[in-house]
Amino acid sequence: MPLSKFSLLLAGLFAAATAQAQVDKLLGGATTASTLSSRYAIVTGNPVNISVVGDPAGSAKQVLRVDAKTTDTLVSGLSNNYVAPLGENTATGLRWYGLSVYLPTGWVKTDPNPVNLLTISTSTASGLPPPFAVVARGDNLELSLTSNYLATGSATAANSSNEVTRLGKITTGKWYCFVLRAEWYQALGSGKLTLWMNADKIYDSAQALNNYGTAFGNVPRAGLMYPGSTGGLNRTAYVDFVRLGGPTSYAEQMFAETPCAVEAAATFTAAKAAVK
Amino acid sequence: MRITNSTILALALAGVVGTAAAQVDLGRGGPVTTFAKNPVTYPSVSALLSYNTTGTVRYFDDVYALNSGTTDSVKLVADPSGKARNVFRLSRLQTDPLWSSTARTEVSARNEYVIEGLRWYAMSVYFPTDWVFHASPTVVMQLHTSQKTLVASPPVSIVASGTSVNLELNSNHRLLDGTDPATKANSSTKTIRVAPLVTGKWYCFVFRADWNRNPGMGSLNVWLNGDNVYSSTNLPNSYITWLGNYPKTGIYMPGSMQVPYRNIYSDFTWMGGPTTTMAMMYAKTPCGS
């Protein structure tokens, strides 16, 4: 076999193995300002709104700063500023996600309009809410899960199943790091979701529908996304790069990639010690 | 007007139905003033509910049933937080006899069952300072399903586990027979952490359940100490049920009891009809009164 073809074969095998196991190094993940657009779709009405910056909490990590201004050009009729890893589009089955957000001091908590910070979204063109969303609403941080057993075309936002769980009162100046293990399914009585927030397991479901029709794959997004009004506010948030894992990933491994890595490791160690 | 037994029954039914539909339902839930036996025997459940709705002496056995291996495991005591009201104190020792092969001391509303549709519930528990933190779950309140043969986890329960207070939800859209019947194993199950477990304070829950087991139907709202901590819409939340869904509070330890004892305080169980409001229900709890 010519060396070039052999090299391609090796690279292909490596890529397939990487996507299945451990944290995916091919899709999403940390990058630099100069290579951001080669790994992420950058969706914004104003290109200066999304930039690679130092961790506002003071670690040596690089993260993303996202701004949303009332003067921005709308995207698909809405104020949207987010990144989404290129090539990631899981329609059904098992996938791990690591998504983190930091709301700085000065985040306005009095406006009741919801702001989606972290989502795993279905096709925007469908008009359907994301299957998974971490939402700031007033002074609450919420988890919103939406799905529909009806076939594509029949499913609407109005007839979709939705559940909203309050995760807590918003604290500014801290990272909220989420790791999600999702088995996406649209069939009734199927589907699993397990969610950890800052290394604590806070949501666990089984045999529970969590998706829409498989015509739409699920794409993780991080930034400032307004399903409705901005409330006339300019906002800033920091988000980590999106982390993805294959079937053999696990929670500790995913948290090790996030801005909460040190805190999470301590929490996992304490939990293990408690059950010995 | 000559008052006959049938007139009394009709009046009772009218009163009960009207009460069940609106406001807080004192016929099927609410306070107890004594563990003594009611000297009066009522000719029907409707007559009993009518008495409960207006009677000032409220007998435990007229409103609640005790599920426990011992008869002295529930007492009427002063609110441990110091408010001028009485509540239940429930207890269980590891060595106590089982009740129906299970480790439990629970109080359930004996005449309350709702199969489908809207119902409000308010239930509250207080973990005393002698609470032994343990990873094994203790179910402290349930909205359980009445079943003839299906063994299923409750549609809604509040569970103390380790240092967490969790909301657990179970449901199944399937029929009870046929080629793919509902089972415990194929039921939808969710565990959601709603708060850390802290001793010496009341956890006052208000539930608004629109019971439905069909796909794309049903809703559930849960408030904890006045905050809306969970809400669902177009989401099935029940099973096909025999008599309906019914509330319980107390101590239930699935499997074997792994701590030497459990004590807990529980408020009375309050129910409300479709026109009840969250504020009305919350006002009945130790947190809102």
pLDDT tens digit string along B51-104?
Answer: 999 999 999 999 999 999 999 999 999 999 999 999 999 999 999 999 999 999
CA distances from B190 to A191, A197, A209, B89, B154 (A): 11, 16, 11, 29, 11
Distance separating alpha carbons of residues A231 and B255, to the nearest angstrom: 51
- Amino acid A76: pLDDT: 83
Distance separating alpha carbons of residues B233 and A137, to the nearest angstrom: 18
Do B235 and A164 lie within an 8 Å CB cutoff? no
User: What burial class does residue B179 get, using C-beta atoms within 10 Å of its C-beta: 0-12 exposed, 13-18 middle, 19+ buried?
Assistant: exposed
Distance separating alpha carbons of residues A45 and A67, to the nearest angstrom: 11
Q: Which of B123, B59, B111, B72 is nearest to B284 (CA)?
A: B123
Q: Note the helical H segments in chain B.
A: 5-21, 45-54, 60-63, 278-282
Report the residue of A144, A149, A165, A201 to disrupt the B interface, i.e. the one with the largest count of B CBs within 10 Å: A165
Residue of A nearest to B191 (CA): A204
Contact B115, B244 (CB under 8 A): yes
Report the residue of A148, A160, A163, A198 to disrupt the B interface, i.e. the one with the largest count of B CBs within 10 Å: A163
Q: Which of A220, A191, A186 is nearest to A203 (CA)?
A: A191
- Amino acid A3: pLDDT: 46
Residue B182 has pLDDT above 80, yes or no: yes
- The verdict on B188 touching A (C-beta cutoff 8 Å) is yes
- The verdict on A166 touching B (C-beta cutoff 8 Å) is yes
Q: Which residues of A touch B194 (CB under 8 A)?
A: 165-166
Residue B133 one-letter amino acid:
F
- The verdict on B214 touching A (C-beta cutoff 8 Å) is no
| pLDDT tens-digit series, residues A40-68 | 999 999 999 999 999 999 999 999 999 99
Do A163 and B188 lie within an 8 Å CB cutoff? no
Residue B13 has pLDDT above 70, yes or no: no
B95: its two tokens = 């060595």
A208 vs B135, B190, B229: nearest CB: B190
Lowest mean pLDDT, pick from A11-20, B33-42, B65-74, B230-239: A11-20
Q: Which CATH class is domain B64-282?
A: mainly beta
Would you tell me which residues 173-232 of chain A have a C-beta closer than 8 angstroms to some C-beta of chain B? 188-189, 200-209
Sign of CA dihedral A89, A90, A95, A97: positive
- The verdict on B163 touching A (C-beta cutoff 8 Å) is no
Contacts for B96 with CB less than 8 Å, ≥ 6 apart: B68, B69, B70, B73, B103, B105
A58: its two tokens = 């003071």
A204 vs B172, B190, B216: nearest CB: B190
Q: Where are the domains of chain A?
A: 23-275
- State how far residue B94 is from chain A, nearest Cα, in angstroms: 21
- Amino acid B66: pLDDT: 98
Q: Which of A195, A239, A270 is nearest to B192 (CA)?
A: A195
| pLDDT tens-digit series, residues B188-243 | 999 999 999 999 999 999 999 999 999 999 999 999 999 999 999 999 999 999 99
Q: Where are the domains of chain B?
A: 64-282
Rounded-to-10 torsion of CA B139, B142, B146, B149: -20
- What band does A216 get if pLDDT is binned at 50, 70 and 90? confident
| pLDDT tens-digit series, residues A131-185 | 999 999 999 999 999 999 999 889 999 999 999 999 999 999 999 999 999 999 9
- The verdict on A62 touching B (C-beta cutoff 8 Å) is no
Contact A98, A260 (CB under 8 A): no
Can you name the CATH fold of A23-275? Jelly Rolls (2.60.120)
Contact B62, B112 (CB under 8 A): no
Residue B246 has pLDDT above 80, yes or no: yes
Segment A183-206 shows an average pLDDT of: 95
Phi, psi of A36 (to 5 degrees): -55, -45
A234: its two tokens = 């300019």
Distance separating alpha carbons of residues A81 and A223, to the nearest angstrom: 6
Q: Which of B95, B98, B92, B86 is nearest to B124 (CA)?
A: B86
- What band does A273 get if pLDDT is binned at 50, 70 and 90? confident
State the count of interchain CB pairs (< 8 A) between A and B.
Answer: 68
